Structure 1
Amino acid sequence: MSKSVFSQRTVIAVVLIVLAGLIFFNNILDWHLFSSLSQWWPLLLIFFGLSHLVSSHGNKSMGTVILILGVVFQLIAFDRLHFNFFDLFWPAILLVIGLNLLKKNPAGKDVTVKGSKQETNVLDLFAIFSGSKHSFMSTDFKGGNCMVLFGGMEVDLKDVKTEQKDVVINITALFGGIDIAVPKGWKVITRGTPLFGGFDDERKEITPDTDAPVLEIRYFVMFGGASVVDELK
């Protein structure tokens, strides 16, 4: 796991270090390197997108979209293409939705209902122009996907258990919000970058139990919000 994270962080770190060096020498040697900065700023988007694609822990959907936007804006800066931001906006949103819907879940996503809770080992949740609430239980939870578009979603996972050492949940919130209540005592890791949105860890108890499983939440939030909580309201 650490190797993949290192790869992603290394790409970003190298870009920042090189940029710092260029700015420093540009200032003291009067190189005028940034006289045409307006033509090269999309490279930041390209590097950022690549940093997610080279890491297994990066958000592939977000990385792909940002990389495409960076390439397109670079072509515009070079006067190779002629259109504005809003010509790209909705195609980018639809691309994110399509990529997320194509994600495959591991076997075992059948859901049965026991009392007020649903029993499943894998999440496969999608809400559009609506709100939804889900409460799950499991003896071997394996993660899954949650996606909301123009709506809201609450997912209660407090009663799930797992035989896995690492569990991954991919969440995507576009013009909406997702709240997830996680099992007490689990170690929670969050990875992602909100775009015009936010992601919050609102848990009061964050000390994991000894030998606790690791729950990794990979998020993509655009014009919305997501949070990890102890209890749903």
Structure 2
Amino acid sequence: MDRRPPVQVFLGAVIVAIGVIALLIQLDVITLSLGDLIADWWPLIVIGVGLAALVTVPRAWLGPTVIIAVGVFFLLQTLDILDVNLWEILWPVAIILVGLSLITSFGTRSGEDDTINSTVFWWGSQRKTRSRQFKGGSLTAIMGGIEVDLREADIVDRAEIAIFALWGGVEVKVPPTWRVRVSGLPLLGGWDDKTSLPIQDGAPELIVHVTAIMGGAEIKS
């Protein structure tokens, strides 16, 4: 039996709950203004998306955390708890994100790194490793792109990569001898697995967890 990922089940349940509430309002079973309800609580959808992304790719935590923070900010505004102009704080937040991106993406770049961690915001990054004991990493692309070359690397048994793409893209090149399994959460985005199954049994395995929000990831050999 093909079991759905827990995150997908959760989001589906939330959508069904919203539909049930709307139906009960239309049938006059409950007295609520659907417009007021949506106007006050719509940021919960943003927070839910961020939480779902965080559960899917916890290692690539920066992107989901930004989404959750934005959702909380909007919720505090719609509930009249916070009275701050979004545009007044947008540019300082953008500067902070750019700084975090620099710190994360310009770390160690040795060609023998066992892990690759990269975060880009508004630009691109190219990473490559020849490690014979590659263990995985996390890749976050927000309005930017990341290219990772693993064709000269090797895995001992299994490795895992977490990918978060928001209005951005990630490309991972792997050796044809690796077995690749991709899963995750696509929200107006997705991923493309262009790898082929290795001929030999017991091939090393790369597990890729993807959250793609209006963005995408491509894994190819």
Q: What's the TM-score, normalizing by structure 1? A: 0.66
Partners in 2 of 1:40 and 1:130 — Cα distance?
Answer: 33
2:114 corresponds to which of 97, 109, 121:
121
Quote the residue 1:51 is aligned against.
52
> Residues 127 and 79 of structure 1: is their aligned pair in 2 closer, same or farther, counting only changes over 3 Å?
closer
Within-5 A mapping of 1:73-84:
73-84=74-85
More off after superposition, 152-161 vs 167-176? 167-176
RMSD: 4.0
Letter in 2 for 1:183: P
> Residues 110 and 45 of structure 1: is their aligned pair in 2 closer, same or farther, counting only changes over 3 Å?
closer
Quote the residue 1:164 is aligned against.
157
Partners in 1 of 2:41 and 2:123 — Cα distance?
Answer: 41
> Residues 223 and 83 of structure 1: is their aligned pair in 2 closer, same or farther, counting only changes over 3 Å?
farther
Quote the residue 1:115 is aligned against.
none
Is 1:94 aligned to 2:96, yes or no? yes
SS at match of 2:133: coil
> What is the CA distance between 1:208 and its match in structure 2?
5.7
> What is the CA distance between 1:39 and its match in structure 2?
1.1
> What is the CA distance between 1:124 and its match in structure 2?
4.1
Contact 1:187-1:212 at 8 Å conserved across structures: no
Partners in 2 of 1:181 and 1:194 — Cα distance?
Answer: 23
CA offsets, 1:114-162, max 9 Å, x none? xxxx333222456677755444323221012445677654322123221
Partners in 1 of 2:10 and 2:134 — Cα distance?
Answer: 33
Contact 2:119-2:140 at 8 Å conserved across structures: yes
> What is the CA distance between 1:76 and its match in structure 2?
1.0
Partners in 1 of 2:174 and 2:155 — Cα distance?
Answer: 12
1:136 corresponds to which of 129, 132, 137:
129
1:181 corresponds to which of 146, 156, 173:
173
Quote the residue 1:62 is aligned against.
63
Identity %: 27
> Residues 18 and 133 of structure 1: is their aligned pair in 2 closer, same or farther, counting only changes over 3 Å?
closer
Partners in 2 of 1:191 and 1:215 — Cα distance?
Answer: 14
> What is the CA distance between 1:68 and its match in structure 2?
1.7
> Residues 102 and 124 of structure 1: is their aligned pair in 2 closer, same or farther, counting only changes over 3 Å?
closer
Contact 2:116-2:138 at 8 Å conserved across structures: yes
CA offsets, 1:16-61, max 9 Å, x none? 23222212222223645313121111111222223344x3644532
Quote the residue 2:40 is aligned against.
39
> Residues 218 and 212 of structure 1: is their aligned pair in 2 closer, same or farther, counting only changes over 3 Å?
same
Quote the residue 1:72 is aligned against.
73
Partners in 2 of 1:208 and 1:32 — Cα distance?
Answer: 59
Structure 1 gaps of 5+ residues are 112-117
Letter in 1 for 2:208: I
Quote the residue 1:191 is aligned against.
184
Q: What's the TM-score, normalizing by structure 2? A: 0.69
Tell me the matched-pair count: 211
Letter in 2 for 1:27: Q
